[in-house]
Structure 1
Amino acid sequence: MFTGIIEEVGVIAQLNKQGDTTFMTIECNRIIEDMHIGDSISVNGVCLTVTAFNQSSFNVDILEDTRAITLFRNMKQGTKVNLERALLPTTRLGGHFVSGHVDTSLVVESVKHMEKTMQLKLRLPDEFRKFVIPKGSIAVNGISLTIFKLNHAIELNIIPETVRSTMLSELKSGDKVHIEFDMLGKYILNSKQEESGLSLSKLEMMM
């Protein structure tokens, strides 16, 4: 479980696909401090398990099923990624509950850079409209963000600290980002499936 508050931006140092597994090495600094083999790390919003590490990098294995439903299939050496360690019982929940299980990917419709902030618009297909609300939470590449406006697109206003501490400033129109819809909202929809005809299984079928 994660909070969507990014701790560090890492860089993919190596990608090596062997059979149905991709072995990835990520260079970083801060999150290495108390790392252990078996730890869960959110990498651009995807929960991955540490298989090895040293003073400047850690390794994860990406199975074919994960590769097929995420953007890791298109990533290359040198790509920057958002990193967050798993939530501790004593951690302040500064964002919202993020599981690290990506629901889908959305296309960046536009990016507008201001002096210190930025505005991000994500194209929203009709089938996902039911899973978002104005002022609600959404995880974009693992980052906990608040939906500012909602119509044919999700409009997000990014504060200076988030611009500085994540890789959002690297995005451009046409890029794709990992999306995880609010977990609590999905549970509510699932509990109301008999009334609304919606369920998590139907959400999964849309992916």
Structure 2
Amino acid sequence: MFTGIIEELGEAAGITWQGDSGVLTVRGPLVAADARHGDSIAVDGVCLTVVAVDGERFTVDVMRETFDRSSLGALRPGEPVNLERAATLATRLGGHLVQGHVDGVGTVLSRTPGERWEQVRFSLPAGLERYVVEKGSITVDGISLTVMEVHDGDADRTDDTGWFSVGLIPTTLQLTTLGRAPVGALVNLEVDVIAKYVAKQLGSVPATSGVRA
């Protein structure tokens, strides 16, 4: 379990393919400092299990499905990644409950700069709109964010797809990957898990099942 508060902007150090899976090496001095085999670390919002630690770097095994169903499949060595260690019982819940299970991949549609902050709009994959509400929580690349606007889209029109927007404060712009993500960039989305459970109890069948390595 995570909170969506990014601890460190790390870097993808390398990816080695092993058949239908891969080994991802990440440089992150802060999160690697006390990492141990078996620990969970969220990389761009994907919960991954540490298999080895070497100084400022840690490695994780990633299933092919995870690469295929998250933005990690497009990750290249040298690119920045958002890192967060798993929460403890003593952790302040500064964001919201985040599982690290990706529900879908969105795209940066637009960026509108303000004086000190920026409004960013993302595409919303079909089926996830039922879980996204204005002023509710959503996780984008592992970052806990508050939804400013949401548009469900029209299923009967290919030119009217769903989207949502968030406001990024200076800290988020400076200390996470979203500060430099261009229009067209892929992002991992995780909707509020409480919303999914409520939908289940009301008889709504979940549209997706998140991925985890």
Query: How does the TM-score come out when normalised to structure 1?
Result: 0.92
Q: How far, CA to CA, are the matches of 1:25 and 1:204 in structure 2?
A: 26
Aligned CA-pair RMSD: 1.5
Q: How far, CA to CA, are the matches of 1:170 and 1:163 in structure 2?
A: 7
Q: Does 1:171 align with 2:177?
A: no
- Pair 1:203–1:14, CA change in 2 (3 A): closer
The residue aligned with 2:201 is 191
Of 4-13 and 111-120, deviating more is 111-120
Question: Residue type of the partner of 2:84?
Answer: E
Displacement after TM superposition at 1:160 (Å): 1.3
Listed as ranges, the gaps of 5+ residues in structure 2 are: 152-161
- Pair 1:128–1:163, CA change in 2 (3 A): same
- Pair 1:140–1:53, CA change in 2 (3 A): same
Q: How far, CA to CA, are the matches of 1:159 and 1:140 in structure 2?
A: 14
Displacement after TM superposition at 1:125 (Å): 4.4
Q: Does 1:159 align with 2:164?
A: no
Listed as ranges, the gaps of 5+ residues in structure 1 are: none
Q: How far, CA to CA, are the matches of 2:192 and 2:137 in structure 1?
A: 6
Displacement after TM superposition at 1:172 (Å): 1.1
Does the 8 Å CA contact 2:105/2:125 hold for their aligned counterparts? Answer: no
The residue aligned with 2:37 is 37
Query: How does the TM-score come out when normalised to structure 2?
Result: 0.89
Question: Residue type of the partner of 1:199?
Answer: V
Q: How far, CA to CA, are the matches of 1:204 and 1:106 in structure 2?
A: 15
Displacement after TM superposition at 1:129 (Å): 1.7
Percent of aligned pairs sharing the same letter: 38
Secondary structure in structure 2 of the residue aligned to 1:203: coil
Task: Give the number of the structure whose residues are more often helix, by fraction.
Answer: 1
Q: Deviations over 1:25-63 (max 9, x none)?
A: 111111122211110000000000011112211101111
Q: Deviations over 1:99-156 (max 9, x none)?
A: 0000001111101233432211012345322110000000000000000112242110
Q: Does 1:203 align with 2:205?
A: no
The residue aligned with 1:72 is 72
The residue aligned with 2:155 is none
Instruction: List 4+ stretches of structure 1 deviating above 2 A.
Output: 112-116, 124-128, 202-205
The residue aligned with 1:25 is 25
Aligned residues: 200
Question: Residue type of the partner of 1:25?
Answer: T
Does the 8 Å CA contact 2:134/2:148 hold for their aligned counterparts? Answer: yes
Secondary structure in structure 2 of the residue aligned to 1:37: coil
Displacement after TM superposition at 1:89 (Å): 0.3
* Aligned ranges 1:42-57 → 2 under 5 Å: 42-57=42-57
Secondary structure in structure 1 of the residue aligned to 2:110: strand
Q: How far, CA to CA, are the matches of 2:32 and 2:115 in structure 1?
A: 32
